[in-house]
Amino acid sequence: MVKVVATNFVQEEKRSEFLELVEELIELTKVKDEGCIKYELYEDSENTNLFTFIEEWESRKCLDKHLASKHFKTIVPLLHGFLAKEGTLNIYKRVL
């Protein structure tokens, strides 16, 4: 199993557009992508407009297929247009 944590600092005036597109990405991912255990979006309780994906994939191979999928490659560049600054993406394996 691999876990993904991806932060997104969204422009204040683009919040609703960002959220609508993320909803679409989540739906398509759940329908189309094999090995997706969880694909959730969280909002930071202190830093306004910081939205973070927390995902769980059966394997790195499944995650890589998702990253190469048509819906990911179409939607994610559009999401980047709504960001105020660059975020981070970490891929984790469980230790404890």
Interaction of residue 70 with its own copies, rule CB under 8 A: no
Binding residues for its own copies restricted to 37-66, rule: CB under 8 A = 40-47, 50-52, 54, 60
Interaction of residue 79 with its own copies, rule CB under 8 A: no
Total residues in contact with its own copies, by rule CB under 8 A: 27
Compare residues 34 and 43 and give the one whose CB is closer to its own copies: 43
Edge-to-edge strand list for the sheet holding 83-85:
50-57, 2-10, 83-85
Give the integer Cα–Cα distance in Å for 75 and 69.
10
Provide the token pair at 18.
């960002």
